[in-house]
A and B are shown apart, each in its own frame.
Chain A
Amino acid sequence: SQQGEEDPQALSIQEGENATMNCSYKTSINNLQWYRQNSGRGLVHLILIRSNEREKHSGRLRVTLDTSKKSSSLLITASRAADTASYFCATDHDKIIFGKGTRLHILP
């Protein structure tokens, strides 16, 4: 299975702090994507990192990829209340396999 598995499963931090979520996967990938999902809403694509990249930035997001360890991390800096959501990593070969997600809660 290429399932991404995120940890932690739930994370609560104060507004303004940084949030780090990790993802591990099992087989070779073309790329790895991170998605956000607000409760009961659609999936929003955040960032894609290709298998030959090690780090990528987009605004307050920083993603790293370690293909030797088959793991990725998503860092959200200076968190805001609006960042409260579930975050999924997904590996991409022919289809996307989602992990169970990290439920991030930003405390005011």
Chain B
Amino acid sequence: AAGVIQSPRHLIKEKRETATLKCYPIPRHDTVYWYQQGPGQDPQFLISFYEKMQSDKGSIPDRFSAQQFSDYHSELNMSSLELGDSALYFCASSFGVHEQFFGPGTRLTVL
């Protein structure tokens, strides 16, 4: 069965650079969620979209923005990267408020 796809799987950036992470939900899923997991930390909810509109917002820094496109894929844009942004970024998708399925994550390293 198709799963959530995230790209890239690994990304290395310098401080103050910009990064874009992509998430392709499971077909027919209309809701996308972004989570950040720092080293040794539990995953933290960042933001979610339902039918291309932002539906909820968590601990997402102002330097980050995200959107969901007409094909339901989502992109997380991160600007002015800081060392503390180094983390695993997970995307999950669901159909409405049903069970969320997680992607494999993108590991971002900021040098």
Contacts and interface: CB of A to CB of B under 8 A. Distances in A.
Contacts of A98: 35, 42-44
Interface in A17-33: 30-31, 33
22 contacts: A30-B97, A33-B100, A40-B107, A41-B105, A42-B90, A42-B102, A42-B105, A43-B90, A45-B99, A45-B102, A88-B43, A92-B97, A93-B97, A94-B48, A94-B55, A96-B43, A96-B45, A96-B100, A98-B35, A98-B43, A100-B42, A101-B42
Interface string A52-74: 00000000000000000000000
B104 interface: yes
A85 to B, nearest CB: 14
Contacts of B100: 33, 92, 96
B90 A33 contact: no
A58 to B, nearest CB: 14
Given A40-B107, A95-B58, 15 more contacts: A31-B99, A33-B99, A42-B88, A42-B104, A42-B105, A43-B102, A45-B101, A92-B99, A94-B48, A94-B55, A95-B33, A96-B35, A96-B43, A99-B42, A100-B42
Contact of B42 (A41, A44, A88): A88
A100 B97 CA distance: 23
A43 B43 contact: yes
Given A42-B90, A43-B90, A101-B42, A95 B48 contact: yes
Q: Give the secondary structure class of A's interface.
A: strand
Contact of A42 (B45, B99, B103): B103
Interface residues of B, number: 22
Contacts of A99: 42
B99 A48 contact: yes
Contact of B56 (A41, A43, A95): A95
A81 to B, nearest CB: 22
Interface string A33-50: 101000011111100100
